[in-house]
Structure 1
Amino acid sequence: MKPLVILYWGGSQTITLTARAIAGGAAAAGAEPYLVNAETLGEADWALLARAGAIVFGTPTYMGGIAGGYKAVLDETGHEIWTERGWQDKLAAGFTCGIQQAGDKLATLKSLAIFAAQHAMIWVGQEVIGAPVFPERAGLNASGTFLGLTVEQAEDGVLKPGCEASARLFGARLAAALARWSD
């Protein structure tokens, strides 16, 4: 199976913690996840992204959209990678956080999905249905967002239990999609 790369904005503690939880869920489900901090992206990281079977985009939502530094990294793909269709048919997914529970996080996920579509990638969304539909799943996918994973801001360096569990489940879903798509 090709690598599952989590390209995240390391300037946000919550995004870093979420990236690690997604990687943990993906690894437990049999994938080979790699964490790549967009703030320190180097040649080896670009080569890894080229080999990836799936790329998971993670950025905080700042002022209703993708964090500026992360957007600059995405914009770097607009020449050779985009024109040569270097990421075509790779799986793509996204995750974000914001200070407030809603916080316009869906706008960020839409932007990431459009970015992936422009690269001819295949988008994978969230599949977990939480409470109140299933009361026993309180805390899972608490925002009810299915385009991607949204989490609430970490407190004291720890994700809320429901956010942590949702991220691990999202990682497992991505690993299963990658395994299926790789056949």
Structure 2
Amino acid sequence: MSHSPRSLAIVYHSPFGHTAKVAEFIAQGAQNMQVQVQVMNIEQIDWDVLDQADGLIFGSPAYMGSVTGAFKLFMDTTSKRWKDRTWQGKLAAGFTNSGGLSGDKLAVLQQINLFAMQHGMLWAGLPLMPTGIQPTDLNRLAGFLGLMTQSDNAPVEITPPEGDLNTALWFGEYIAAMLYRLNSGQ
């Protein structure tokens, strides 16, 4: 049984490149599942792509226990879409990166989750059991509300670590599978 192509948009803010790197790995995972993916920084939004996508994944670094100010501004600019219920019923997910081990990443995912719920979206978390705490382990930060990665305040060329990036690939594949599942009615 063939499925029609699904589309996914990944929207992020990434002042230092770490969150953008994670977005690209999520996109690669979804593309591995034959999902059409558009990746965009909030500074170059294509609203038509967002409105037409079957799913939206939102990503922001953790700044002071919150999304960045620029990402919050993006959220606020969606108020007409909120009022018109433009994104209602779309699949939604979130990811965040911080320099520190905690960085209050959970607060960022909660903020993104609440934003998606305000829009009437369907939230998909990260149902991947942690495999350990080493830099090569999957879901080593044990996040379940969404994808958490850590850059350890190091250059983007060497962080986030391999396990976090492989978790991002897994997350992209999972979200793509959820899009197909929702499309098939299973």
Q: Same fold (TM over 0.5)?
A: yes
Q: CA contact under 8 A between 1:131 and 1:138: conserved in structure 2?
A: no
The equivalent of 1:144 in structure 2 is: 142
**What amino acid sits opposite 2:28 in the alignment?**
G
What is the TM-score when the length of structure 2 is the normalising length? 0.90
Structure 1, unpaired ranges of 5+ = none
Distance 1:94 1:110 in 2: 9
The 5-angstrom pairing of residues 91-170 of structure 1 reads: 91-132=91-132, 139-153=137-151, 155-156=154-155, 157-158=157-158, 159-170=160-171
CA contact (8 A) 1:11 1:39 kept: no
Find the counterpart in structure 2 of residue 71 from structure 1: 72
- CA contact under 8 A between 1:8 and 1:16: conserved in structure 2? yes
Identity within the alignment, %: 35
Structure 2 gap ranges (5+): none
Give 1:39 shift: 1.5
SS in 2 for 1:173: helix
Q: Which amino acid aligns with 1:5?
A: A
The separation in 2 between residues aligned to 1:109 and 1:140, in whole angstroms, is 18
Q: Which residue of 2 aligns with 1:14?
A: 18
> Greater helix percent: which structure?
1
Shift of 1:127: 1.5
Alpha-carbon shift at residue 2 of structure 1 (Å): 3.3
Show the counterpart of 2:47.
46
Q: TM-score, normalised by structure 1?
A: 0.92
Instruction: Give the length in aligned residue pairs.
Output: 177
Alpha-carbon contact 2:135-2:164 (below 8 Å) kept: no
Partner of 1:32: 36
